[in-house]
Amino acid sequence: MIKLPAKYKSILNTKETEHAIVAIKDFFQLALSTELNLTRVTAPLFVGAGTGINDDLNGVERPVSFPVKALNEQKMEIVQSLAKWKRLKITDLELEPGFGIYTDMNALRPDEDLDPIHSIYVDQWDWCMAIDEKDRTVYYLHEIVKKVYRCIQRTEFFLYDRYPQIKPILPKEIKILYSDDLQREYPELTPKEREDKVAKKYGAVFITGIGGKLPDGSIHDGRAPDYDDWITESGDGHRGLNGDILVWNPVLNSAFELSSMGIRVSPESLKAQLEERNCMERSKFEFHKRLLNGELTQTLGGGIGQSRLCMFLLRKAHIGETQVSIWTDEIQKDCKKRGISLL
């Protein structure tokens, strides 16, 4: 459980924070689009219910839905992420391997448990790129991870150049790890405790293989079965072609997830993952039918939290300091007592 620091004072005041958020977002998205050859596109706020396009996250979260009068009360859903929509967009644009898209994604997740790093409002850079079939390897995934991490590093230095009181803390290299290795090495720890241990040790890590079964039958963290490939053998004794970028957050004294990303499912891995999760009924959705028929471009993609990145770089204690959301009375009182100014 994430706990607020006992003693905290924001490095920047509210006005400076607002200016810094704009600067971070402008700089990072330009760095990311340049590094990965991404073109900015406009994204939907909602999609049709029952099409299979909306992200199911862990399969239990309820999307916000509403009927549309002009469409005979057809039901729409506020997106929970654009994991699958991006693949459709890449296919429609007929992009060549090595090129992709990014967008500002705004989502609502009303079932989220509110704490210093979780809000019902989610804002992230959703990105996706076309890849060759030969690049469906963990080695290619890790090369892209390193590029994304370099963009985060450059943004940290950019911010330091503007606000020298915010010292850079990210290590030169990101450490590549595997969830099954961590389970074998620290069997007595929970997945969250393992993340804390390695994030504190290395400063920045990419934990590969999120969603698939570990040696003891558990999973490191939940992943829906129909976007990331977490079942394919990676070729080096591990399973899974996805993972999370985590950094050590000294303000919260905790591992801190900045990005989730991975190579997207092939028709074969989608079928296997739907079977493993006992949800073959999804194969009837339009998105899944197209994917199973081999009609969708092979892609690699992910999401990078905008408020999360700003929170980390600005050394903030609560995500409500870098986004406007809704909080319980208890959270608001506790933050006020601790000197945390929620936007």
Residues designated catalytic: 55, 109, 124, 244, 257, 260
The tally of CA atoms less than 13 A away on the side-chain side of residue 191 is 19
Token representation of residue 285: 């959705």
Residues 6+ apart with CB under 8 A from 164: none
Burial of 171 (C-beta count, 10 Å sphere; 0-12/13-18/19+): middle
Nearest to 100 by CA among 191, 155, 161, 39: 39
Complete DSSP assignment for 164-178: TTS-----SSPEEEE
Complete DSSP assignment for 51-116: SS-S--TTTTPPPPEEEEGGGTTEEEEE-S--HHHHHHHHHHHTPPTT-EEEEEEEEE-TTPPPBT
Angle at which helices 138-162 and 14-36 cross, to 10°: 140
Neighbours of 298 (CB within 10 A): 21
Complete DSSP assignment for 110-121: TTPPPBTTB-SE
